[in-house]
Structures are given as C-alpha cells and as structure tokens.
Amino acid sequence: MKILLAFFLLHLTRGNLGQSANMQPNYVLIMADDLGIGDLGCYGNTTLRTPHIDSLAKDGVTLTQHIAAAALCTPSRAAVLTGRYPIRSGMTSFRRIGVYIFAAGSGGLPTNETTFVKLLKEQGYSTGLIGKWHLGLNCESSEDHCHHPLWHGFDYFYGLPLTNLRNCKPNGGNIIIVGARSTVRTAVQVVIVALITLLLLCLLGLVTMPWKALGFLFLAVVLLLAALLLFFSQFRNLNCILMRNRRIIQQPFTCENLTQRMTSEATSFIGRNSDRPFLLFMSFIPVHTALYASPEFLGKSRHGLYGDSVEEMDWSVDIQGTIALVPFSTLP
C-alpha cells in the first residue's frame, strides 16, 4: 500500500487573513490509500492531471524517501494517528490479517492510545474526520461503537467505518472469495476426502457407525457450506456502511458521487467552524478499490477508471483548499 500524506498549515484566523499570525492555525490533513508516487505530476507524471495537488507540492515540501509504518490500511493509519509502530497498539501481528473487514467484528484502535487529534482537541480545536476510518468499530456488541472515531478525539465523523472493498461496488467482484479461494478449496477437499474415507471404512466393516449419524454429518457439512456462501453473497448489504457520527445513514453505501458528497461534508465542516481553530482529516475513499468516479469525471482521463478517480480527487483538493483559504467572514 502506498499512501499520500499532505499536511497543510493554514494560518487562518477567526476574522480575516490580516490578523495576527500568533493565533492558533487550522490544520487540514489529507490521506489517500493506494495512490502511487508516480501518479502525481509533482513526482514526474505527465499523463494524469493533478494541478491542484502539484500546486500544493510546489508551495510546500515533497518527500521522496518516506515510508509508511505498515503495508496495509489499518496498521499504517494507526501509526499516522498515534505516531507509534502499530504493533505497539495491537493493530498488527504475524498471526492475523492486518485489516478490519466485517462490521460485526470486534477490535480496533485502543481508546487509551493518544492520538494527535486528542491533543489538538485539548487545545480547543474542533476536529472532524471525513472519509475512511478503518480502525475498528465495536467491542462486545454491534452497537457499542467503542472504537468509533468519536472516542479518539474527533468531534464529527462522516464516512466509512471500514473500507471500500470491491464487494461494496455492484459487479465489483468478491475480494474475500478470491483471497480465500485456495484456503477454502483445500478445506473442502480435506472434508470431502475424510467423508469418503469414512464411508468406505463403514462399507468395509472396519468402522462401525450408524448410517443415520453419517447422513447427519453430510447434511451438516452441506449446510455449513451453504451458510458461508450466503454470508459472502450478502457482504455488501451487511458491511458496506456510510455513517454520520454514530448513525448509519446508508447501508449499503453507493459509489455514485461519493467523492463529491465527502467534499461537500468537508467544506461544510470548515464553514461551521469559522469561529474557532479546527483540524480537518480528509481521509479519501479513492483510489482504493473498488474504483469509481462521478459522472463529471468518468472517462475523462487517459488511464481509465483509476485515472478518473485520481483526477476527481485532485478536484476535491482544490475545492477544499479554495474554501479553506477564503476569509471566514465571507463564507455563507
């Protein structure tokens, strides 16, 4: 996984840009999953149009040897928020998958971890997360939301508690079945061989087992496989969730205009907090698969759906920057 991390220190104040620079600055942190370093103009790309991100790089600093603390979404995001190696907060290990996939699963970033968001909130900042969280949701039940962003210093959250897997897009494919195909195939083969062996041993009289019990065993295996197939077929309906704070507002969420909706929420957050310092963490849904783009950007790039998604993200950066750099007194 490659992550673009852009950090803006906007010296904006409660009235206009001409006030004292000693006032608390506002922060806008932008993150994008799976964006290649070679896919931006500021790093040498000449075929993808990213003028607004390039402008930020021109006026700021570009990093060429920075690496993430982990190669997957969940642990690398935990490291960004805490400044610690993710293994220290239990967000990665050698014995389990390093990301959260199911909404009903337990676990997440421990609430006793100190995030930079909590530190800014203690300084009087209004804090908002727009986009992807992917650091856990529940502990004991599907409603306790003990790992929710609001427990980690954010005042406002609008986005996905998990991530945008291919399963979340109609006809986008099933990444779980693809990823577990070899494991499932091996398990099914072992079960079938074991049942056939048991049947042959019974027929040869080497093992005594009631035929009724054997029939129940076959039935149990068939029902288990059917239940797994049903669960995976309903993954989108069960796990692809869009939330506002602790309330689910769309299940499953739709990709249509999703980036534009996130952008609207980000600019609204900036406008609502014109009278106090704020931190906005814009955690983009693109360009993580499943890929998508709004109709205005669909088919407009030279690199297919991926390029469309990158160019729409660049548009979003421009909109947020334009709003943030306008004196607060002129905001509607």
The dihedrals phi and psi of 93, each to the nearest 5 degrees, come to -165, 175
- Asked about 73 being catalytic, the answer comes back as yes
Sign (positive/negative) of CA torsion 100, 103, 104, 107? Answer: positive
- CB neighbours (10 Å) of residue 252? 18
Q: Which of 80, 89, 251 is nearest to 160 (CA)?
A: 251
Residues 301/310, Cβ–Cβ less than 8 Å: yes
Q: Which residue of the set 11, 42, 134, 168 is catalytic?
A: 134
- Asked about 240 being catalytic, the answer comes back as no
Tokens of 53: 């991100």
Tokens of 192: 């079938």
Q: Which residue of the set 42, 52, 73, 240 is catalytic?
A: 73
- CB neighbours (10 Å) of residue 204? 8
Tokens of 45: 């790309």
> For residue 3, what are the contacts with CB-CB under 8 A and spacing of at least 6?
31, 32, 33, 35, 68, 76, 80
Residues 32/4, Cβ–Cβ less than 8 Å: yes
Angle at 257 (CA atoms; ends 252, 262), nearest 5 degrees:
85
Tokens of 124: 């009087």
Q: In whole angstroms, how far apart are CA 80 and each of 30, 73, 83? A: 12, 11, 6
- CB neighbours (10 Å) of residue 201? 13
Residues with catalytic annotation?
73, 134
